[in-house]
């Protein structure tokens, strides 16, 4: 017997992947854990009979010869496979897109950094020139869209978009997909959201807005979408919510929309993980209080943020400077010659002002070209320190609508950040 199995609290990516595995491994049976996410439960209640899916308890472990694990690389996330991993006559195959370290050491694996596991299986389906029913295509598309936020999460790759195109070609139904992706919120989910709105703290961590909340829950509901919605409403760059169960144990769900806060890196410190944009962790240490967990998140964020790009990493240097006595004609020549749109005015390396292309346009009379730059330069110049974050420079330039930001250390100008530097920095980071 061959079985395809996925993680507990099964999401659509997990469900889609076990169903797709039965196509790639003829004879394999899709085994669904008992605990699935509420939207998956709703889907299954309608579509159960459309797919051959059995429960883990229906499987005779002794009969299993091949185990296809999808969407997780950790044994403890699988349902009732007791003993299976110790048997050496079971062949283990792994399909996954989680890059963290797991304890499943398969005989064969396809693990790649893509937005959803189903993307990897879809690629194989395409290569084998298999066709899908619209129903299969729809399920796979829901899995793909859920894990990639309709292809908007940072973790999305071109490969995911290609898989989506193929699934649409195969007749995936967007109306059905949208129905299961945009679930109405349950009473418990609404309560959690309102609790977060009123109680969660907002922290400014190196220029990034981070929401951190603590919510006590008495039963399991799908919480990731609530956390995500909360982050959107308060316009946070990233959010972390610590959920405390009735027995005092807790788990964290994190979401981030900025490449500078990597959820996977933060939650790895708590024994969890995920992706740069989304992840979770279960707190294993029962002695840890909620306050300690919250403090640890904040400290970790400060530490990790330090690793982000600094102004010194992105600035241009050396800077073209002129003395305050330089006449405007020379300034114009300099700009044309060097193809620059701004010139820093300095004396002994100390910033005195800045003159930009726009200022030249203000010159009306011919004789003004003979006047010194000090008569036309801007003296109120926004500056930034080399050890500030590159993202702070970007924000400052957008805020003040300026194209040149001199970098000043002590009194001296040591570099300049231009729009080109910012664009290079921003796009150099993608895909994250």
Which C-beta is closer to Mn ion: that of 103 or that of 337? 103
Residue showing the smallest CB distance to Mn ion in the complex: 13
Is residue 13 at the binding interface for Mn ion, with CB under 5 A as the rule? yes
Whether 157 contacts 115, CB under 8 Å: yes
* Nearer Cβ to Mn ion (109/245): 109
CB of 71 to Mn ion, least distance (A): 5
Kindly state whether residue 147 participates in binding Mn ion, applying the rule CB under 5 A.
yes
Query: Closer to Mn ion at the Cβ: 18 or 417?
Result: 18
> Taking CB under 5 A as the rule, does residue 71 contact Mn ion?
yes
Q: Minimum CB separation from Mn ion for residue 7, in Å?
A: 9
* Separation between Cα atoms, residue 391 and residue 398, nearest integer Å: 11
Restricting to residues 101-120, name those near Mn ion by CB under 5 A. 117
Closest to Mn ion by CB, 118 vs 343, is 118
User: How far apart are CB 129 and Mn ion at their closest, in Å?
Assistant: 25
Give whichever of 121 and 346 is closer to Mn ion, judged by the CB atom: 121
Give CA–CA dist 133/138, Å, rounded. 9
Check if the beta carbon of residue 317 is closer than 8 Å to that of residue 261: no
Three-point CA angle 142, 145, 151, nearest 5°: 160
In angstroms, rounded to a whole number, what is the distance separating the alpha carbons of residues 99 and 71? 11
Segment near Mn ion (CB under 5 A), from 52-60, 143-151, 263-271, 365-373?
Answer: 143-151
Q: ∠190-195-201 over CA atoms, to 5°?
A: 135
- Region 409-428 residues binding Mn ion, contact defined as CB under 5 A: none
Residue 12 or 425: which CB sits closer to Mn ion? 12
Task: Supply the minimum distance, in Å, between the C-beta of residue 16 and Mn ion.
Answer: 9
Distance (Å, rounded) from C-alpha 150 to C-alpha 144? 8
Please state, in angstroms and rounded to a whole number, the distance separating the CA atoms of residues 121 and 291: 42
Binding track over 240-269 against Mn ion, x by CB under 5 A: ------------------------------
DSSP state of 83: T
- Choices 45-53, 64-72, 80-88, 358-366; region in contact with Mn ion by CB under 5 A: 64-72
Q: Which class for 269: exposed (0-12), middle (13-18), buried (19 or more C-beta within 10 A)?
A: middle
H helices of 273-318, in order, are 290-305, 311-314
Please state, in angstroms and rounded to a whole number, the distance separating the CA atoms of residues 308 and 154. Answer: 17
- Site residues (CB under 5 A) for Mn ion? 13, 71, 117, 147
């Amino acid at each position: 017997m061959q079985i395809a199995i996925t993680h507990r609290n099964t999401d659509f990516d997990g469900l889609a992947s076990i169903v797709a595995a039965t196509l790639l491994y003829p004879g394999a049976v899709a085994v669904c854990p008992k605990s699935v996410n509420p939207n998956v439960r709703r889907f299954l209640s309608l579509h159960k009979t459309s797919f051959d899916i059995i429960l883990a308890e229906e499987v005779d472990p002794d009969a299993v010869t091949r185990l296809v694990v999808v969407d997780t690389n950790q044994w403890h996330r699988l349902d009732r496979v007791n003993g299976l991993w110790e048997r050496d006559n079971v062949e283990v195959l792994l399909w996954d897109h989680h890059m963290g370290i797991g304890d499943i050491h398969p005989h064969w694996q396809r693990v790649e950094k893509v937005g959803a596991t189903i993307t990897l299986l879809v690629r194989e389906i395409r290569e084998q020139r298999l066709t899908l029913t619209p129903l299969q295509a729809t399920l796979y598309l829901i899995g793909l869209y859920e894990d990639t936020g309709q292809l908007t999460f940072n973790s999305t790759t071109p490969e995911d978009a290609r898989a989506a195109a193929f699934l649409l070609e195969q007749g995936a139904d967007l109306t059905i997909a949208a129905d299961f992706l945009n679930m109405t919120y349950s009473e418990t989910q609404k309560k959690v959201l309102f609790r977060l709105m009123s109680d969660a703290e907002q922290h400014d961590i190196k220029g990034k807005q981070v929401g951190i909340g603590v919510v006590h829950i008495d039963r399991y509901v799908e919480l990731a979408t609530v956390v995500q919605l909360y982050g959107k409403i308060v316009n946070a760059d990233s959010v972390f919510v610590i959920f405390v169960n009735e027995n005092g144990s807790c788990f964290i769900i994190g979401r981030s929309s900025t490449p500078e806060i990597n959820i996977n890196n933060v939650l790895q410190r708590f024994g969890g993980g995920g992706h740069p944009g989304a992840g979770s962790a279960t707190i294993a240490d029962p002695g840890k209080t909620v306050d300690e967990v919250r403090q640890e998140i904040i400290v970790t964020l400060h530490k990790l943020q330090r690793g982000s790009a600094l102004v010194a990493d992105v600035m241009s240097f050396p800077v073209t400077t002129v003395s305050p006595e330089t006449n405007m004609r020379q300034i114009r020549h300099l700009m044309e010659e060097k193809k620059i749109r701004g010139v820093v005015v300095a004396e002994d390396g100390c910033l005195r002002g800045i003159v930009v292309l726009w200022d030249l346009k203000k010159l009306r009379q011919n004789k003004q070209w003979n006047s010194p730059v000090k008569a036309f330069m801007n003296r109120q110049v926004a500056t930034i320190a080399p050890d500030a974050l590159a993202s702070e420079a970007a924000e400052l330039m957008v805020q003040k609508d300026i194209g040149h930001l001199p970098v000043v250390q002590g009194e001296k100008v040591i570099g300049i950040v231009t729009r080109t530097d910012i664009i290079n920095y921003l796009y150099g980071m993608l895909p994250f």
